[in-house]
Amino acid sequence: MDTIPEPFTLSNASTNPFSRRGGFRVPFGLRDGRVWAPGEVAKGKACGCLCPGCHAPLVAKAQESRRKRPHFAHLIETGCQTGRETGIHLRAKQLIAERQELVIPAWIGDFVDMPNPPHARDDEGRLHWGRQIDCPARLVGLRDIEVERSFGTYQPDVYAQDGLGELLIEIRVTHAVDDGKAARVRMQGRRMVEIDLSHLHRDTPHDLAAFEQVVLFDPANRSWISCPEAVVDWHASKQELDEQIAARNKEIAQQRDQLIKAAKARREREAQETKDKDGRKAYIRRREREKHAGDLAQLAGLTSPARIERILREYQAIAEERVSSLLDSAPPAVRSACLRAVHGDAWVFGVDPALWQLLAYDHFVTRRSAGDRFNQRDVASWVRHSFPYEKALYRLFVAQYANRAEARRAGISKHRLAYWVFTDEENDRIPNFYTPINDFMDRLESARLIRRLAAPVGECEVLPPPAAGWPVAVVGAGKALSGNQSGLLAL
C-alpha cells in the first residue's frame, strides 16, 4: 500500500526515493485491452492486470485508509519506471473516448506573435487596440472518436468530432507536442488541444473523481496547439486595426504638413517683428514662453489649493507607517524639527513632508559623526533625487532662479524670484524648491542638531547629542501653516 507522500511532478520522478524501489506505485492496470483502477477489479493477483509500462503482472491493493490510497504493485520487482506515466496516459484517452465530452480551453492568442486583442502604434507612438477575439472555454460533446488515428506524419492521442468539425486531442504526461508536429497541424488547418497532466499531484490518479475532473473538465490545464477559426478571426481584427492606423497616420501626416506651414508663417512673422525693438522684445518673450509652454499649461492645475490639499492627504496616508517607524527611533528634538508646522511649499517633493525631512535627517545627521560637515545644496539635491518631485514646477522654478542670477550678474539688484516672460500670476504660483530646505535646516539648527558655518555658503556641521540627553519636545500650534498644510504635533 502507498503512504501519501509530499506533492510532486512527474518531471522529478527519478529523484524520489520511491523510484529506487521499483518506481512510483502504478495507479492503473491493463486487462483485456482496457485500463482499470484498483477498485474496479478483484484484489491481489486475481485482478489479472498487467503493468501499462513493462507488461509485467500486477497485484491490486484496493484497501483505502486515511493515509493510504488504492494502487497496483508489481507481482515481481522489475525496476519499472514508466508504469505510472503510461497508465495515466492510457486511462485519460480511455476516459475521453468513453465519456464523449470534453472542456476545450479558451483561446488567448500568443503574447509575442498573436496578442489578443491585437495592438499597434501609430506614427505618433500612440497605442491602438483592435477587436478582442472572444473564444471562451466551453464543454463540447464528442462523436466519431478514434484513439491513435494516424495522419501520416503524426498521430494524435484522440481524434473526435465536435460541433465545429475535427478535434485532435493530445495528452501530455511527460512530453509536450513538439514544434514540428504543431507546425504540421497548423499547416493543415486542423484544430488540436493539448491537455497537460505533467504536474498532477501524486494522489490525483488514485482518486477517480478527481482524475476525471482534471482530464475532462479543468480549463486551466489545457491549451490550443492549433485553433484555425480563432486565428482567422484574429487576422481579420488585425487587418481592421491596420486600416485604422493607416487612416490615422494619414491624418498625422496632414497635421504635420499644416504645422510645417504654420511654423514657416510664424518664422516669417517673427522675422518681421525683430526689425524694431518692440517687436524684438515681443518676439523674445514669445520664444522664451514657448520653451515653457507645456509646463505653464499645467501650472494652475498643479498648484491649485484643492489639489495640494488632496495630494498631501494621499502622501500622509501612504507614508504613515514609515513615518511612525522613523519617529519611534528618533529623539524628541528630531520629532519637533520634522513634524512642526513646515513651509507651505514642502509638498513639492512628491512625498509627505514629514517623511522627506525624517529621511534627510537620517541621511545627513544620524549616519554621520559629530563634527562631520555637509552643504545645504547637497540636501536639496538629495531630496530631489530621492523623491518624485514635481518636475514641471521645478523647471519653472529653475527658469525664475536663472533669470534672477543673470540679472545680478548684469549688476541689476533683484530680490524677487520672478521671470519677466511669465505673468505676475504665474510667477506667484510657482513654488520655491529651496525655501522648504532652508526652513528645515533652520529648525535643525534651532533644535541644536546642526550648526551653520560662516563659510562656504550653506556649509553645516553635525553637533554631538547633549550630554544630559534630549529634552522632552512639545510642539505647539504657535506657527500656522500656509494654506495647504495641516499641523502635526510631536508625540
| pLDDT score recorded for residue 469 | 64
Element housing 390 (H / E) = none
Strand partners, 165: 162
The per-residue pLDDT for range 238-278, each reduced to its tens digit, is 999 999 999 999 999 999 999 999 999 988 887 776 666 66
Alpha-carbon separation of residue 201 from 7, 120, 210, 331, 421 (angstroms): 5, 41, 10, 56, 72
Band the pLDDT of 236: cuts 50, 70, 90.
very high
Q: Under a CB-based contact definition with an 8 Å cutoff, are residues 440 and 347 in contact? A: no
CA separation for the pair 204, 202 (Å, rounded): 6
Say yes or no: 228 and 326 in one domain. no
Identify the weakest region by mean pLDDT among 81-85, 98-102, 116-120, 485-489: 485-489
> Do 422 and 296 share a structural domain?
yes
In a domain, residue 363? The reply is yes
Instruction: Kindly state whether residues 180 and 140 are assigned to the same domain.
Output: yes
On whether both 487 and 472 belong to a single domain, the answer is yes
Asked if residue 26 has pLDDT above 70, the reply is: yes
Residue 294 has pLDDT above 80, yes or no: yes
Confidence of residue 172 (pLDDT cuts 50, 70, 90): very high
Instruction: Give the contacts of 351 (CB within 8 A, at least 6 positions apart).
Output: 315, 319, 387, 388
Strands 165-172 and 192-196: parallel
* Helices 277-291 and 293-302: angle between axes, nearest 10 degrees: 60
What pLDDT does 24 receive?
Answer: 63
Query: What integer is the mean pLDDT of 441-446?
Result: 90
Nearest to 366, CA basis, from 429, 307, 284, 449: 449
Percent of the chain exceeding pLDDT 70 equals 87
Find where cell 530680490 sits: 415
Angle formed by the axes of helices 391-409 and 293-302, to 10°? 120
Specify whether 43 is located in the same domain as 161: no
pLDDT of residue 288: 87
Q: Yes or no: say if 121 and 130 are a contact pair by the CB < 8 Å rule.
A: no
Higher-scoring residue by pLDDT: 354, 330: 354
Q: Looking at the domain assignment, is residue 444 inside a domain?
A: yes
Total number of domains constituting the chain: 4
Q: Does 479 lie in the same domain as 347?
A: yes
pLDDT tens digit sequence for 191-205: 999 999 999 988 899
Domain-embedded: residue 254: no
Same domain, 354 and 478: yes
Question: Could you give the dihedral angle defined by the CA atoms of residues 226, 228, 229 and 234, in that order, rounded to the nearest 10 degrees?
Answer: 90
User: Within a domain: residue 237?
Assistant: no
pLDDT in tens, 177-187: 999 999 999 99
Q: Which residue has the higher pLDDT, 22 or 39?
A: 39
Element (H, E) at 71: strand 71-74
* pLDDT score recorded for residue 139: 95
Q: What is the mean pLDDT of residues 426-434?
A: 91
Residue 57 confidence (pLDDT) above 90? yes
Do strands 119-121 and 127-129 pair parallel, antiparallel, or not at all (unpaired)? antiparallel
Residue 469, helix vs strand vs coil: coil
Question: What is the pLDDT of the chain when averaged over all its residues?
Answer: 84
Does residue 29 contact residue 36 with C-beta atoms inside 8 Å? yes
Region 305-312 average pLDDT: 92
143 in the same domain as 9: no
Averaged over 151-163, what is the pLDDT? 91
Q: Is the pLDDT of residue 470 over 90?
A: no
How is residue 147 annotated by DSSP?
A: E
pLDDT at 485 over 70: no
Backbone angles phi, psi at 101, to 5 degrees: -155, 155
> Would you place residue 476 in the very low, low, confident or very high pLDDT band (cuts 50, 70, 90)?
very low
Final residue of a structural domain among 207, 232, 257: 232
Last residue of a domain, which of 86, 120, 143?
A: 86
Task: Please report the DSSP string for 151-176 in residue order.
Answer: -SS---SEEEEETTEEEEEEEESS-P
Q: What is the DSSP string of 306-343?
A: HHHHHHHHHHHHHHHHHHHHHHHTS-HHHHHHHHS---
pLDDT reported for residue 11: 39
Does residue 282 sit within a domain?
Answer: no
pLDDT at 118: 92
Q: How far apart are CA 11 and CA 5, in angstroms?
A: 16
* Same domain, residue pair 395 and 375: no
Same-domain status, 150 and 67? no
- Cβ–Cβ under 8 Å, residues 464 and 370: yes
Are both 385 and 396 inside the same structural domain? Answer: no
pLDDT of residue 55: 92
pLDDT digits (tens, 9 = 90+) for 396-419: 999 998 888 888 888 877 778 888
Over residues 148-166, the mean pLDDT reads 91
Query: Grid coordinates standing for 284?
Result: 523674445
In a domain, 10, yes or no: yes
Helices (H), 14-134: 83-99
Please answer whether residues 371 and 462 qualify as being in contact, where contact means their C-beta atoms are separated by less than 8 angstroms. yes
Place of cell 493530445: 170
Residues 421, 442 within the same domain: no
In whole angstroms, give the CA distance from residue 448 to residue 425: 39
Structural domain contains residue 151: yes
* Residue with the larger pLDDT of the pair 343 and 295: 295
Q: What cell does 371 get?
A: 563634527
Q: Tell me: pLDDT of 352 over 70.
A: yes
Question: Angle at CA 212, nearest 5°, toward 137 and 103?
Answer: 15
pLDDT value at residue 276: 66
The per-residue pLDDT for range 311-330, each reduced to its tens digit, is 999 999 999 999 888 888 88
Q: How far is residue 160's CA from residue 167's CA, in Å, rounded to a whole number?
A: 5
Q: Give the residue numbers spanning the domain of 418.
A: 288-303+391-430
Q: Is the pLDDT of residue 68 over 80?
A: no
Range in 2-11, 89-98, 210-219 with the lowest mean pLDDT:
2-11
Which of 52, 69, 86 terminates a domain? The answer is 86
Q: Cα–Cα distance between 359 and 362 in angstroms, integer?
A: 5
248 assigned to some structural domain: no
Contact 166, 193 (CB under 8 A): no
